[in-house]
């Protein structure tokens, strides 16, 4: 075969599809039993979809919008998670200018408006430095206890780590949410459509990638695959676990080591009386509790709604206890809506402990675009290529970025092929 693609997430599927269209003989090796990677969807009651990984497609993410159009994947009507402030821009205050729950109670509109105004005034009077931690800026700006608590809570939206570890660039301004879409049939429906016709070998975790003068050999737990080129389209953490022979250059190994993964997961609940609940919930809910950020998906045919909650991994056991997490989601919905929710189904996804994920998404933090550029660069005399959202030049840490990275890696292979033919 000419190319082996490691990983059947969106990046690997994009790369394999592009290569196959160009006449390459491509095999995709997938460690698990499914395609999509961190694009995973649970089918709840009545067949309603609940995305456990990637959910939103933002305005400007033209690559994934084109893919949805090409594969006939339907989108919801446009969604506006955040509204611009008085100056026309989305900022930290925009995130708070929705439903806010603090210490288990719903903030009254006037109390919330006061906090929003305070945060925006602080942004103007004490502009944050992009590399400054969230904890540092909230202390330096002199915010009140409530405003400081609300700003710090936004570090759980990705979800990520602690406010002391997160730079202001990660939360201000918000990188998405002004105009976006979801896939009502589930985000993994795109991955399923892209996988059709590809040669995907499941249950093939890659142990090592070695190369000599004539070929590159990918060794899995059950066999070997010799090829000309390899595209490694796995997340940062599992990529670190692959044995490379010769070993990766120091600059590549250091880039992988310097790129942390966002630790956390997602709790998903399906509720009855969906239309009324969604209207009461508002566009988004920000909370200082264990579920940092929540929103509702589209209404199902049986008047059900799926509510999504982002859960940062605080290393307190919450993310390992599905019953506790679903009860917390019920509590958040109850506080936000003032109604008693009837949960029909629910599931908790802990991405931190996923062996072949190692976390939610990559977090290059303030070291952008240097780290993604290094992570994307090929090695092994141009025979080993890298893809994945962490390598994206645009829309890093997103489904769109993953697709773009797969295209870029495939083009590297094709360019190498054309240069070799010319020589």
Q: Which residues contact 267 (CB under 8 A, 6 or more apart)?
A: 291, 308, 309, 311, 325, 326, 328, 329, 346, 347, 348, 349
pLDDT at 170 over 70: yes
The rounded distance, in Å, linking the Cα atoms of 141 and 128 is 9
Please state, for a pLDDT cut of 70, what percent of the chain lies above it. Answer: 98
Domains detected in the chain: 3-38+188-260+360-422 (3.50.50.60), 43-60+179-183+261-350 (3.30.70), 92-98+107-170 (no CATH)
Q: 114-142, pLDDT tens digit by residue?
A: 999 999 999 999 999 988 999 999 999 99
Is the pLDDT reported for residue 1 higher than 70? no
Report the SS3 class of residue 154.
Answer: helix
Find out whether 77 and 87 touch, Cβ atoms under 8 Å: no
CA distance linking residue 134 with residue 114, whole number of Å: 20
User: How far is it between the farthest Cα atoms of the chain?
Assistant: 71
Mean pLDDT of the chain: 95
Can you give the pLDDT at residue 377? Answer: 98
Q: Which one, of 128, 118, 124, 76, lies nearest residue 97 by Cα?
A: 118
Q: What is the tens place of the pLDDT at every residue in 309-364? A: 999 999 999 999 999 999 999 999 999 999 999 999 999 999 999 999 999 999 88
- Nearest-angstrom CA–CA distance, 335 and 166: 28
CA separation (Å) from 401 to 9, 356, 419?
12, 19, 27
How many helices (H) and strands (E) the chain has is answered by: 13, 20
- The alpha carbon of 256 is separated from its chain's Cα centroid by a whole number of angstroms, namely 18
Instruction: Please check the confidence at residue 365 and state whether its pLDDT lies above 80.
Output: no
Q: Which two tokens stand for residue 379?
A: 């090695």
pLDDT above 70: residue 421: no
**Locate tokens 């697709």: which residue?**
403
Per-residue pLDDT band at 295 (split at 50, 70, 90): very high
CB 384 within 8 A of CB 232: yes
pLDDT tens digits for range 177-216: 889 999 999 999 999 999 999 999 999 999 999 999 889 9
Taking a C-beta distance cutoff of 8 angstroms, is the pair 333, 271 a contact?
yes
For the cut 60, the answer to whether the pLDDT of residue 297 exceeds it is yes
* Residue 165 predicted with pLDDT over 90: no
CB contact at 8 A, 181 and 79 = yes
Asked whether residue 160 carries a pLDDT value surpassing 90, the answer given is no
Model confidence pLDDT, tens digit, residues 66-81:
999 999 999 999 999 9
State the pairing for strand pair 216-220/224-227: antiparallel
Q: What is the pLDDT of residue 420?
A: 66
pTM greater than 0.85 (yes/no): yes
Q: What is the CA radius of gyration of the chain?
A: 22
pLDDT of 159: 74
pLDDT digits (tens, 9 = 90+) for 218-227: 999 899 999 9
The pLDDT value given to residue 205: 98
Query: What DSSP string describes 358-391?
Result: -SSSB--TT-TTHHHHHHH--BTTTTEEE-SGGG
**Worst-scoring range by mean pLDDT, 16-25, 85-94, 264-273, 296-305?**
85-94
Phi, psi at 18, each rounded to 5°: -65, -40
pLDDT at 250 over 80: yes
Asked whether the predicted pLDDT for residue 13 surpasses 90, the reply is: yes
């Amino acid at each position: 075969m000419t190319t082996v693609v490691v990983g059947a997430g969106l990046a690997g599927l994009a790369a394999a599809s592009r290569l196959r269209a160009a006449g390459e003989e491509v095999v995709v090796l997938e460690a698990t039993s499914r395609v999509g990677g961190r694009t995973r969807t649970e089918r709840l009651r009545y067949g309603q979809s609940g995305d456990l990984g990637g959910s939103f497609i933002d305005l400007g993410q033209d690559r994934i919008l084109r893919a949805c159009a090409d594969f006939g994947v339907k989108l919801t009507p446009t969604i506006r998670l955040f509204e611009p402030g008085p100056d026309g821009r989305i900022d930290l205050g925009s995130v708070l200018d929705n439903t806010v729950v603090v210490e288990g109670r719903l903030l009254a509109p006037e109390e919330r408006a006061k906090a929003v105004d305070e945060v925006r005034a602080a942004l103007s009077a004490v502009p944050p430095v992009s590399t400054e931690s969230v904890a540092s800026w909230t202390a330096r700006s002199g915010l009140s206890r409530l405003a400081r608590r609300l700003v710090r809570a936004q570090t759980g939206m990705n979800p990520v780590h602690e406010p002391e570890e997160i730079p202001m660039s990660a939360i201000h301004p918000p990188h998405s949410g002004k105009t976006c879409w979801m896939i009502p049939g589930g985000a993994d429906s795109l991955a399923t459509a892209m996988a059709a016709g590809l040669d995907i070998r499941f249950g093939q975790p890659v142990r090592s990638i070695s190369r000599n003068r004539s070929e590159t050999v990918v060794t899995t737990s059950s066999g070997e695959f010799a090829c000309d080129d390899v595209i490694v389209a796995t997340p940062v953490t599992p990529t670190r676990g692959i044995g490379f022979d010769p070993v990766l250059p120091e600059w590549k190994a250091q880039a992988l080591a310097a790129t942390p993964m966002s630790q956390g997961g997602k709790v998903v609940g399906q509720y009855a009386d969906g239309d009324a609940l969604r209207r009461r919930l508002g566009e988004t809910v920000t909370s200082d509790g264990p579920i940092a950020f929540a929103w509702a998906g589209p209404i199902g045919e049986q008047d059900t709604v799926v509510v999504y909650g982002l859960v940062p991994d605080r290393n307190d056991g919450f993310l390992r206890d599905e019953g506790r997490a679903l009860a917390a989601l019920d509590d958040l919905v109850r506080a936000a809506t003032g109604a008693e929710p009837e949960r029909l189904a629910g599931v908790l996804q802990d991405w931190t402990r996923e062996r072949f994920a190692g976390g939610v998404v990559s977090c290059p933090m303030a070291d952008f675009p240097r780290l993604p550029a290094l992570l994307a660069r090929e090695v092994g005399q141009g025979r080993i290529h890298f893809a994945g959202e962490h390598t994206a030049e645009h829309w890093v840490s997103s489904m769109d970025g993953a697709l773009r990275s797969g295209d870029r890696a495939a083009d590297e292979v094709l360019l190498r092929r054309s240069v070799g033919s010319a020589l």
